[in-house]
Amino acid sequence: MLFKLKVNQRIETVDVSPDTPLLWVLRDVLHLVGTKYGCGMGVCGACTVHLGDQAIRSCSIPVSALGDQPITTIEGLAEAERHPVQLAWESLDVPQCGYCQAGQIMSATALLHHTPHPTVEDIDAAMSGNLCRCGTYTRIREAIQHAAGLGHAAAAHKTAHGA
Amino acid sequence: MRMNRRSFLQLATLAGGGMALRLYHLPALDAQEKLPELTPQAFVHIAPDGTTTIMARASESGQGMRNMLPMLIAEEFDVDWKSVRVQQADLDESRYGRQFSGGSMNTPLGWDPMRRVGAAARQLLIATAAERWNLPASACTTAHGRVLHKASGRSASYGELATDAASRKAPALDSVALKDPGEYRIIGHSTQGVDIPAITTGKPLFGIDVQLPGMLYASIQKAPVFAGTVKSANLDEIRRMPGIRHVFVIEGTIRPSAFTPWEPGMEPGIAIVADTWWQAQTARSQLKVDWDLGPAASQSSEGFRQRAKELLAQPPGNTVRAYGNVESSLHAAAKVVQATYEYPFIAHMTMEAQGATAHWKDGRMEMWSTSTQPENGRELVAQTLGIDKSVITTHMIRSGGSFGRRLQNDYLVEAAWIAKRVDAPVKLLWSREDDISHDGLRPGGTMGLTGGLDAQGRLTHWRQHFITFGENHHLASGGGIGADSYPAGFVPAYAMYTSAQPLMLRTGALRAPGDNAYCWVAQSFLDEMAFASGRDPLEFQLELLGNQRVPWTVGQPDAVGDHEPTGPSVLVPERFKGVLQLVAEKSGWATRKKQPGRGMGIAAWFCHLGYFAEVADVSVDKDNNVTVHNVWAAGDIGSQIINPRAAENMVQGGIMDGMSALGQEITLANGRIEQSNFHNHPILRMRQTPKIEVFWNRTHYAPTGLGEPSLPPVLPAVTNAIFAATGRRVRTLPLQRSGFNWA
Ligand code: FES
Ligand code: FES
């Protein structure tokens, strides 16, 4: 069945069965492999992308349920320049294996979009759906605070979405 | 580099008759003897513009190997790190030496040879410049990627010299001079992970990301019970489903017994190959298979527990070590304490599930592998498929975590097996559920302990009966124990026994294998003994470490090191004390407050050549929910922390990993693993993350690895803190089985 999606500012048409999760459309049909498979049941956050300006778990939403909201993946987060969250991740050397980090970054950017100056409690609440098997939570927390401090996080986020 | 193999084996030498090597037995090691000497040309490539490409020989799964080993080369080569590009080497042990990552061994095994490779490359360029300038090499020096002759002011960039240098014979690695550590500009200075920009922007990087033209996707359904075989299945129906290209029955030759890693033999199952993985998975959900579950279907956790209880009451099957006549002198102790500790099977749960990509074409096999033991993977593929090793090419791809799981190559063999039957590249991916139910589990265990104190409250006796898995002396992988495991040797009278019960399951090394369980038992029971003696656990342990040691002679390591001592593989009491004292100071141990519901616990361990002591500050609410507020960690991994920022991250990760293990459990019923995903085999989340502070005790020993040693002490540090907070001792893991839960 044909579905029309707006992914990272581009209109894509995909021919898949309606129950195919967005995750596998992104990875195996559109070859946007930055979004990762971790659990397939919405409990690890590795597959986090933005639907509109909300962080969602792409493994748990079938392509037929997406509607016409734009989708942003890790590949689409940085347009001309890196998002402050990506810069913070890089300067604090957050990742270990790195496998969870696309999902972490997508959750963190959504958090800062809605809450530009989060408290530690805000951060913990927003990020606790994202598992990191390597245990980089300490660095992730620091990087989010750092990104918020870099300022203009919300503004830059808007630019990244072209919103 | 003669020392490497020998000292490695010694490290892995545990008592109990050869079972030891099974923790980290490396088939590749035996071949190592025949490998040619490393050359700088294999590792260092210089472009005319001066860009230096350094080959990273070891697999990267988040332990920072793509930085650490190239940093060693770059330091001695004397280039600026910013002019270095790191490239992952393909598998070729004849060129790169051992390409293995495990046991925190890359640092101790790479420290000397990698620096020498860099120094030899530098010397080659100096010799080239000296000849060009008609000067003695000794008159020239280097800085920032240039050869200099200070007296004449002449200089040439490495790039200008590279072509001429490439054809020169490299000096013997043993002959090159190394820098004084005071001159280091890269070692000891944090470098950004070389793949980090690719990670933060979502570039294809991991095993699961490999994409090839015309590639197909595979999924495998295996029996719910280990080594169960296929009797019949609705294969024709599956073949007609959308996107399905092939369906194969894997007969499998694995035996239903305690699995031995590195033995060939596949698990039986049904492989489905489709245009997309989702199609393969969808078809798989419609499979109707009649399985012959085999003998393993009778196994259960309850059965294991019953059998352990029986074995504990019987005379032990095997004496690992005994001295000081424990049995006959225990009655003379002023105080005797007995306890039984029990810990469960747990799974690796790497964030990236297992998988691999392979392509069979024109009689050659090309593989994209996340293995941390790739040469063994190549051998197993050759054996299983009946092809020659020489036709196999292995690309080493970054993985989303290993923690010991990727030492085993089962998924790689499966991918190659499927690829050989298909006219296209194939990516095999396990689902998370596959990953947990076909993991090489950390085996569970039960320990019966008896400790004795003298009238002054000193530890005099330690008797331990370890109930593990296996048959006689052939213990399940990851289920062995070392005869020199602390506090062996330090207690005046000591005995360590094992008894084993049969197991039909895949087990293996999980981060700090053996130590991740045994440290918890030993450091918990030491805390119990300290409490029984009415003394402070730190003081009690420092006193124990001051005892005259009873040497262990069977396989006793000798002094190692040709050029510099690699950290001795036997515990050095001063180093153990050093980290304990440092962590006590940093955590304010001596002045800690004692209040109901909140407490601090201390523990330390030596494993994989590294020393860590950790203190946890924990509160327990009235509903027995446990919160860890602070963890202080003090580590001694020698004279240099090669990449400090990555090192701190690794320690914090090890601590989170150890804390997660306190709440995890794999159980079996009717031979089936009952856990299926992260919701019932949980990993801690950010809101459960304490403040973790890391401190280093620098000593004069050569640097050693960091992947593993930070993990073990946090388990007993937390459970000892729970005792301090509540007066209740956690003797059974996971915490839930002792009446506690994570908040
Ligand atoms: S893969 Fe979607 S939440 Fe885990
Ligand atoms: S960095 Fe490895 S899972 Fe998060």
Query: pLDDT tens digit string along B416-444?
Result: 999 999 999 999 999 999 999 999 999 99
- Per-residue pLDDT band for A33 (boundaries 50, 70, 90) equals very high
Q: What is the rounded average pLDDT of the residues B15-22?
A: 28
A47 touches ligand 1 (CB under 6 Å): yes
Whether residue B652 is found in the same domain as residue B592:
yes
Q: For a ligand 1 pocket test, name from A22, A26, A36, A39 the mutation site with the most ligand atoms within 8 angstroms of its C-beta.
A: A39
Kindly calculate the radius of gyration of chain B based on its CA atoms and give it in whole angstroms. 27
Q: ipTM of the assembly?
A: 0.94
Answer yes or no: is pLDDT of B23 > 50.
no
Answer yes or no: is pLDDT of B11 > 50.
no
3-state secondary structure of B299: coil
Angle at A120 between CA A116 and CA A121, to 5 degrees: 100
Kindly state the DSSP code that residue B209 receives in the 8-state scheme: G
At B444-455, the pLDDT tens digits run: 999 999 999 999
Q: Which is more confidently placed, B441 or B481?
A: B441
Rounded to whole angstroms, the Cα distance separating B291 from B143 reads 67
A148 with A117: CB under 8 angstroms? yes
3-state secondary structure of B486: coil
Burial B689-702 (b: 16+ CB within 10 A, else e): bbebbbbbbebebb
CA distance A43 to chain B (A): 7
Whether residue B241 is found in the same domain as residue B127:
no
Whether residue B193 is found in the same domain as residue B322:
no
- Per-residue pLDDT band for B491 (boundaries 50, 70, 90) equals very high
What are the phi and psi torsion angles at B672 (to 5°)? -100, 135
- B84-88, strands of its sheet edge to edge: B44-46, B52-56, B84-88
3-state secondary structure of B597: coil
Domain boundary residue among B200, B232, B252? B200
Rounded to whole angstroms, the Cα distance separating B113 from B98 reads 11
- What percent of chain B lies above the pLDDT cut of 90? 87
Rounded to whole angstroms, the Cα distance separating A63 from B326 reads 68
β-sheet bridge partners, residue B702: B566
- Per-residue pLDDT band for B474 (boundaries 50, 70, 90) equals confident
- Per-residue pLDDT band for A160 (boundaries 50, 70, 90) equals very low
- Run of H or E including B697: none
Residue indicated by tokens 């946090």 = B714
Q: Are strands B318-323 and B244-250 parallel, antiparallel or unpaired?
A: unpaired
Whether residue B245 is found in the same domain as residue B290:
yes
Domain boundary residue among B400, B429, B458? B429
Residue B743 lies in a domain: no
B514 with B52: CB under 8 angstroms? no
The contacts of residue B286 (CB under 8 Å, 6+ apart) are B234, B237, B238, B241
A97 touches ligand 2 (CB under 6 Å): yes
Whether residue B290 is found in the same domain as residue B332:
no
The contacts of residue A58 (CB under 8 Å, 6+ apart) are A21, A22, A23, A26, A35, A47, A48, A49
Residue B141 lies in a domain: yes
What A142-145 contacts at long range (C-beta under 8 Å, 24+ apart), as own/partner pairs, is A142/A92, A143/A85, A143/A88, A143/A89, A143/A92, A143/A94, A143/A108, A144/A85, A144/A88, A144/A108, A144/A111, A144/A112, A144/A118, A145/A118, A145/A120
Is residue A52 classed exposed, middle or buried when 0-12, 13-18 and 19+ CB atoms within 10 A define those classes?
middle
What are the phi and psi torsion angles at B308 (to 5°)? -65, -40
Q: What is the rounded average pLDDT of the residues B377-392?
A: 97
Cβ <8 Å between B202 and A74: yes
Residue indicated by tokens 């369906």 = B247
- Per-residue pLDDT band for B567 (boundaries 50, 70, 90) equals low
Ranges assigned E (strand) in B351-431: 355-361, 364-369, 392-396, 426-429
Whether residue B40 is found in the same domain as residue B131:
yes
User: Using N-to-C axis directions, what is the helix angle for A137-149 and A101-114, rounded to 10°?
Assistant: 40
Residue B47 lies in a domain: yes
Domain boundary residue among B382, B409, B429? B429
Whether residue B364 is found in the same domain as residue B510:
no
Q: What is the rounded average pLDDT of the residues B367-372?
A: 98
- Run of H or E including B432: helix B432-437
Q: What is the rounded average pLDDT of the residues A89-112?
A: 98
Q: What is the mean pLDDT of chain A?
A: 92
Question: With an 8 Å Cβ cutoff, is A106 touching chain B?
Answer: no
The contacts of residue A81 (CB under 8 Å, 6+ apart) are none
Among A residues 33-52, those touching chain B with beta carbons less than 8 Å apart:
33-41, 43-44, 46
Q: How many CA atoms lie within 13 A of B564 on its CB side?
A: 22
Q: Which is more confidently placed, B20 or B490?
A: B490
- Per-residue pLDDT band for B554 (boundaries 50, 70, 90) equals low
Rounded to whole angstroms, the Cα distance separating B257 from B296 reads 8
Whether residue B425 is found in the same domain as residue B446:
no
Q: Out of B217, B646, B691, whose CB is closest to A28?
A: B217
Residue B434 lies in a domain: no
Whether residue B232 is found in the same domain as residue B173:
no
- Run of H or E including B582: helix B573-587
Answer yes or no: is pLDDT of B17 > 50.
no
Residue B463 lies in a domain: yes
pLDDT value at residue B36: 63
pLDDT value at residue B568: 61
B459 with B491: CB under 8 angstroms? yes
Residue B436 lies in a domain: no
A21 touches ligand 1 (CB under 6 Å): no
Cβ <8 Å between A134 and B653: yes
Is residue B474 classed exposed, middle or buried when 0-12, 13-18 and 19+ CB atoms within 10 A define those classes?
middle
At B230-257, the pLDDT tens digits run: 999 999 999 999 999 999 999 998 988 8
Rounded to whole angstroms, the Cα distance separating B117 from B75 reads 10
Residue B206 lies in a domain: no
Domain that holds residue B96: 5-200
pLDDT value at residue B743: 96
Residue indicated by tokens 């080993």 = B69
Q: What is the mean pLDDT of chain B?
A: 92
Q: Out of A38, A123, A135, whose CB is closest to B657?
A: A135
Angle at B19 between CA B521 and CA B544, to 5 degrees: 35
Whether residue B555 is found in the same domain as residue B585:
yes
3-state secondary structure of B7: helix
CATH number at residue B250: 3.30.365.10
Residue indicated by tokens 């992260």 = B678
Rounded to whole angstroms, the Cα distance separating B356 from B209 reads 10
Question: With an 8 Å Cβ cutoff, is A62 touching chain B?
Answer: no
Answer yes or no: is pLDDT of B516 > 80.
yes
3-state secondary structure of B198: helix
Rounded to whole angstroms, the Cα distance separating B392 from B395 reads 10
Threshold 0.80, pTM exceeds: yes
At B698-715, the pLDDT tens digits run: 999 999 999 999 999 999
**Of the ranges A61-75, B11-25, B599-613, B632-646, which one carries the lowest mean pLDDT score?**
B11-25
CA distance B454 to chain A (A): 42
The contacts of residue B214 (CB under 8 Å, 6+ apart) are B424, B425
- What percent of chain A lies above the pLDDT cut of 90? 88
pLDDT value at residue A120: 95
pLDDT value at residue B553: 65
Answer yes or no: is pLDDT of A156 > 50.
no
Whether residue B265 is found in the same domain as residue B129:
no
pLDDT value at residue B48: 86
Answer yes or no: is pLDDT of B558 > 80.
no
At A44-94, the pLDDT tens digits run: 999 999 999 999 999 999 999 999 999 999 999 987 788 999 999 999 999
Q: How many domains does chain B have?
A: 3
Q: Which is more confidently placed, A153 or B647?
A: B647
At B353-368, the pLDDT tens digits run: 999 999 999 999 999 9
pLDDT value at residue A39: 98
The contacts of residue B55 (CB under 8 Å, 6+ apart) are B42, B43, B44, B45, B70, B86, B87, B88, B89, B96
Rounded to whole angstroms, the Cα distance separating B496 from B317 reads 11
Ordered by where they begin, the domains of chain A are 2-76 (3.10.20.30), 84-160 (1.10.150.120)
Residue B225 lies in a domain: yes
Residues in A touching B279 (Cβ below 8 Å): 17
Q: What is the rounded average pLDDT of the residues B308-330?
A: 95
- B355-361, strands of its sheet edge to edge: B244-250, B269-274, B216-222, B426-429, B355-361, B364-369, B392-396
Whether residue B424 is found in the same domain as residue B452:
no
Which ligand lies nearest to the CA atom of residue B431 in the structure?
1
The contacts of residue B197 (CB under 8 Å, 6+ apart) are A90
- What percent of chain A lies above the pLDDT cut of 70? 92
Residue of minimum CA distance from atom 3 in ligand 1:
A42
